[in-house]
Structure 1
Amino acid sequence: MTDGSNEQQEAPVDNRLDNRQGDPRPPRGFWFGIIVAIVKPFMIVFTKCRFTGRENMPRTGGVIYVPNHISHFDPVLLGYFIWECRRIPRFLGKASLFKIPVLGKIITSAGQIPVYRDSTQAADAFRDAVAAVERGECVGVYPEGTITRDPDMWPMTGKTGAARIALMTGCPVIPVANWGAQEIVKSYTGKIRIRLLPRKTLQARAGAPVDLSAFEGKPLTNQLLHEATEVIMARVAETLGELRGETPPKELYDLRKARKAEGEETA
């Protein structure tokens, strides 16, 4: 496992930061190969990446990784990180992305999973994610459901999808923290602008699997799923704290409560 001194080095991801570097790459297929051919050179040229904790990502078998969400750019960083963990990332993403010409064709053919919010197809993403995990895939679920609105960019409270998939399939849940993507694309600031220069340092870290043993074998009630989700989000925040060298807040930002409070103030 990478120690603290290695985390501070200005080192490219190809350096031997952990024991994953000698592992063979997984078969990537034609369409995912196109994504790798585009993303990897871009990241090498325009960013400086620090990846740690890759030994915590299972090398084979179904797994869910749950990252924090800080920017429209962090899916690129996280996809690259999972690839460097020697896994093929399968993201759950907004259905609108799959309708973009060319891009939609590529990500659909590369096995990414569309999420149809507030529609009769909303359950399809959950079903497809479960099926992917049962096939042994590495599936990424943003538990917050959207980019964080926390003023200090800590994770918010989460939705229960990742917990439900994990408890249904028995697969491990890996907390993944990322930092730096917000310097390339700052979200919710009006017009989206991409800032590549000077080169930004991007970080990602995989934590040890979340312990959900207290919830296994019990009926999947709403209360149980919310409790399991709180455990998951606490681990995501903890992993981000390790990455940032800071202590996460004891209570995570609750977007629903914040919006309700705003509505009461304007009423």
Structure 2
Amino acid sequence: MTERSRPSVFWILAGIALPLVAVIAKFRFYDPEKMPRTGSVIIAPNHFSNIDPVLVGSAVWYLGRLPRFLAKASILRVPILGWLLRRSGQIPVERGGVSRSVESLKAAAEMVSHGRALIVYPEGSLTRDPDLWPMRGKTGAVRLALEYDLPVVPVAHWGTQDVMPRYSNKISFFPRHTIHIKIGDPVDLSAFTGRPLTNAILVGATAVVMDAITHLLEDLRGEKAPEIRWNPADHNQNETGKF
């Protein structure tokens, strides 16, 4: 029995979202068997469109898991929608410093420890790379994985930018777009386990996760990513998202 087969508020959300998604997109999966059908897992995708959570969440549903995200707290305060999202286990992330980030981490760890799947964008925001390659990641996902011994499954997708370009909120309905999604093997973080979670350890582990996502995206795009990953700090760009 897959996780999604159990009655839950997700059935309501799926009933609303999936028919709309079907109008604008169709999915083509690569190595879908690599997505764990049960058990605790952190799903780590690339991120370059504001519509990514809707399409990636739909894809994860089709793979038999219930898509839960770290979501902006403001979204969870929207009437009706916010109630549905809270009831489905979405975890609010408040702006405002380290203490609130720690609270989000604890909530995420508690949720995942009960055998659930959590989608975390390691980049923290839309990539700033001009060619839509994954940029330098943030350390929240690997901190959660290393501290609580959770597997990280990398995921790459390509095509959501045709539905909604980066930085845009305008949806392209026609023609119907194909979203390519490739699932990777769990990232080997054994070199970092059992060690103090210093900044160097977290940054190193995050780079390994970002490498895994990038390699999957290279396969989908049929081209090589730049040798040096885009770092907004090197280009005087502000990053949003602290996780």
TM-score by length of 2: 0.92
In the alignment, is residue 116 of structure 1 matched against residue 94 of structure 2?
Answer: yes
Name the larger-Rg structure.
1
1:238 to 215, 230, 233: 215
Q: In structure 2, the residue corresponding to 1:253 is in which secondary structure?
A: coil
Q: 1:255: which partner in 2? A: 232
Which is further off, 207-216 or 39-48? 39-48
Q: How does 1:126-205 map to 2 (within 5 A)?
A: 126-188=105-167, 192-205=169-182
Q: 2:205: which partner in 1? A: 228
Q: 2:10: which partner in 1? A: 32
1:90 to 33, 58, 68: 68
Q: Which has the higher contact order (CA 8 A, sep 6+)?
A: 2
Q: 2:28: which partner in 1? A: 50
Q: In structure 2, the residue corresponding to 1:90 is in which secondary structure?
A: coil
- Paired amino acid for 1:68: N
- Paired amino acid for 1:86: G
Q: In structure 2, the residue corresponding to 1:155 is in which secondary structure?
A: coil
Aligned residues of 1:88 and 1:138 also touching (Cα < 8 A): yes
Alpha-carbon distance in 2 for matches of 1:251, 1:78? 26
In the alignment, is residue 61 of structure 1 matched against residue 23 of structure 2?
Answer: no
Q: In structure 2, the residue corresponding to 1:196 is in which secondary structure?
A: coil
Alpha-carbon distance in 2 for matches of 1:188, 1:230? 25
Q: In structure 1, the residue corresponding to 2:150 is in which secondary structure?
A: coil
Deviation of 1:242 (Å): 1.1
Runs of 5+ in structure 1 lacking a partner? 1-22, 262-267
Q: How large is the Cα RMSD of the aligned pairs?
A: 1.7
Aligned residues of 2:24 and 2:172 also touching (Cα < 8 A): no
Which is further off, 26-35 or 166-175? 26-35
Alpha-carbon distance in 2 for matches of 1:164, 1:66? 13
Runs of 5+ in structure 2 lacking a partner? 239-243
Question: What does the per-residue CA deviation read over 1:46-99, in whole Å, with 9 as the maximum and x for residues that have no partner?
Answer: 212112221111121111011101111011111111112211111112222212
Aligned residues of 1:28 and 1:88 also touching (Cα < 8 A): no
Identity between Structure 1 and Structure 2 (%): 44
- Paired amino acid for 2:115: G
Question: What does the per-residue CA deviation read over 1:198-236, in whole Å, with 9 as the maximum and x for residues that have no partner?
Answer: 111112111111110111111111110110001011111
Alpha-carbon distance in 2 for matches of 1:227, 1:125? 22
Question: What does the per-residue CA deviation read over 1:129-157, in whole Å, with 9 as the maximum and x for residues that have no partner?
Answer: 11112111101111111001110000010
- Paired amino acid for 2:55: L
Counting matched residue pairs gives 237
Q: In structure 1, the residue corresponding to 2:165 is in which secondary structure?
A: coil
